[in-house]
Structure 1
């Protein structure tokens, strides 16, 4: 058995803004995307939660939960941390025992390579549908959360309010759950 005193300290997983910008320019980063949903007692999806966000330029858009996976962090822990960060500490997400994504989205800083676009970086996102049971109180750069029926979430009006290809990811999530109108 190894003496704990011999192990190097565990890195924090956080990069400075300068370090993050450098890394973003050199290699893809791993993210999670999560579509928060409400389900009824029969296990049927009834509503989809979409965040209202403001970006650094003051642009307002609808979005799903998204965030980086930190160094030495499990996917499950990254899902929980990012859901709590965006939906608040009492959202009560129901994470699967073995998180398997319904989709893998590749975001590129150049438009047209894929349907997913992020001007800051090349990122690979594992996408999940996550039921939440608690009260959602958006935080950080999320201004609000609105709950839409599957029909409303799949509408062209909602798609027009989303950016970076997330409207496509939302429709894939609805199809995965068998509720795409």
Structure 2
């Protein structure tokens, strides 16, 4: 692995693309993402709460979302999950990533509406989706305004589902079905 000190003209960490390179990649090939549905579990491991981020969309609408982000070149899936959870929920979230993380589904986000339940106008992205228990103190970070912990049943209600865009509502319903908590 090459250290950045060998290339002082390029201060970006390994795996980062310039905005121009990223835009070009998004036009030509699918990108790999991770989606993480943060949950609180009781002592028996049953999901008792789902964490949804409150964000402002590019058009100024308030929306709810799960933790999501791109997997960098040469980055392990577990490291991408940890990085994005820390980025969105803070360094004290204490996510409990299993030794061998297995996604509950693979979500294919397309720039065209209606082909799949998932939509991202910027790109074609393939996302591995995980339910991730978090045990620590979560504080919204980056562009998240708030983090709400709601019951699995509330997360599946039509009002909450309507607040999620891009298919995140569908993803949360799939996650709750996977853990046996969909009403």
> Does TM, scored on the shorter chain, surpass 0.5?
yes
2:112 is the alignment partner of 1:113: no
Q: Please give the secondary structure, in 1, of the residue aligned with 2:147.
A: strand
Structure 1 residue 17: Cα displacement? 1.3
Gaps of 5+ in 2: 5-12
Match of 2:25 in 1: 23
Match of 2:7 in 1: none
Query: What is the distance in 2 between the residues matched to 1:96 and 1:142?
Result: 26
Query: What is the distance in 2 between the residues matched to 1:150 and 1:174?
Result: 7
Match of 1:174 in 2: 176
Q: Provide the aligned C-alpha RMSD in A.
A: 1.2
Match of 2:139 in 1: 137
State the TM-score, normalizing by the size of structure 2: 0.92
Structure 1 residue 165: Cα displacement? 0.9
Query: What is the distance in 1 between the residues matched to 2:22 and 2:59?
Result: 19
Q: Give runs of ≥4 in structure 1 deviating > 4 Å.
A: 7-11
Query: What is the distance in 2 between the residues matched to 1:14 and 1:94?
Result: 26
State the TM-score, normalizing by the size of structure 1: 0.93
1:22-171 alignment, distance < 5 Å: 22-171=24-173
Give the total of aligned pairs.
175
Structure 1 residue 59: Cα displacement? 2.2
Query: What is the distance in 1 between the residues matched to 2:45 and 2:98?
Result: 14
Q: Please give the secondary structure, in 1, of the residue aligned with 2:28.
A: coil
